[in-house]
Amino acid sequence: MSWLSVLNSWDAALFQVVNAGMSNAFFDTILPWCRERWFWTPAYVFLTAFTVLNFGKRGWLVVVGLIIAVGVADFTSSSIIKKNVQRLRPCNEPALEAVVVERVPCGGGYSFTSSHAANHFAAAFYVIGMFGALARWIRPVVIVWAALIAFSQVYVGVHYPLDVTAGAVLGIAIGSAVALFFKKWDKVGILARSTP
């Protein structure tokens, strides 16, 4: 048995622990909502308003950086990695058909990496990179937020734990890199000239 087969079997076993073994009414109610982008719209609006109101024109450039971080993460996960790896979602995997608890429509597309995890961890670590030094409470809040969304993807049955872990790593790398780029750009003074 190859190491990849062993890894896949462990991943499938852990998936079943989360998807079926952790079933409860509270998770069934909350977690399907947590993975919906519109559920978090008030948080996105608040973050945009907070940034623009406190940093003016400079704040809009910070928001653009956030959009870039999420866009690059989404493109890399959805259009490059998924199309090349082509791993079936657990809810589409014939070997798991009898045991998967589907809490949302399974949908098409591939499973590795989780774009939800990549996108939200990219957003979280971009925010940490830009604002983490100003308020340390931001770090645990956005990490827990991104982790909750990633966990929900496994719980509802559309991703394996390895999918969301790899998506998180991808998002962390991209979000941190984009934040570093914008902060270096700021030191040069390009952003500074846009302050009101």
Q: What is the pLDDT of residues 72-83, one digit of tens each?
A: 999 999 999 999
pLDDT of residue 194: 46
Cα–Cα distance, 2 to 57 (Å, whole number) = 54
Per-residue pLDDT band at 3 (split at 50, 70, 90): confident
The alpha carbon dihedral of 137, 139, 142, 148 has a sign of negative
Cα–Cα distance, 31 to 12 (Å, whole number) = 20
Query: Closest Cα to residue 107, out of 156, 146, 174, 74?
Result: 156
Say if residue 152's pLDDT is above 70: yes
Say if residue 88's pLDDT is above 60: yes
In this predicted model, what pLDDT tens digit does every residue of 9-47 receive, in sequence order? Answer: 899 999 999 999 999 999 999 999 998 878 889 888 988
pTM above 0.75, yes or no: yes
Cα–Cα distance, 187 to 51 (Å, whole number) = 18
In this predicted model, what pLDDT tens digit does every residue of 48-73 receive, in sequence order? Answer: 998 888 888 888 888 999 999 999 99
Q: What angle separates helix 161-188 from helix 138-155, to the nearest 10 degrees?
A: 150
Percentage of the chain surpassing pLDDT 90? 63
Query: Closest Cα to residue 151, out of 110, 99, 114?
Result: 114
- Please, are residues 182 and 43 in contact by the beta-carbon 8 Å criterion? no
Domain boundaries, given as residue ranges, for the chain: 43-194
Cα–Cα distance, 20 to 132 (Å, whole number) = 36
In this predicted model, what pLDDT tens digit does every residue of 153-179 receive, in sequence order? Answer: 999 999 999 999 999 999 999 999 999
Size (the chain), residues: 196
Cα–Cα distance, 43 to 127 (Å, whole number) = 13
Angle of CA points 132, 116, 86, to nearest 5°: 135
Cα–Cα distance, 70 to 171 (Å, whole number) = 8
- Please, are residues 175 and 124 in contact by the beta-carbon 8 Å criterion? yes
Cα–Cα distance, 46 to 65 (Å, whole number) = 16
Tokens at 184, concatenated: 């270096």
- Please, are residues 67 and 178 in contact by the beta-carbon 8 Å criterion? no
Say if residue 193's pLDDT is above 60: no
Q: Which residue has the higher pLDDT, 190 or 180?
A: 180
Say if residue 190's pLDDT is above 80: no
Per-residue pLDDT band at 141 (split at 50, 70, 90): very high
Say if residue 132's pLDDT is above 80: no
pLDDT of residue 2: 80
Say if residue 192's pLDDT is above 70: no
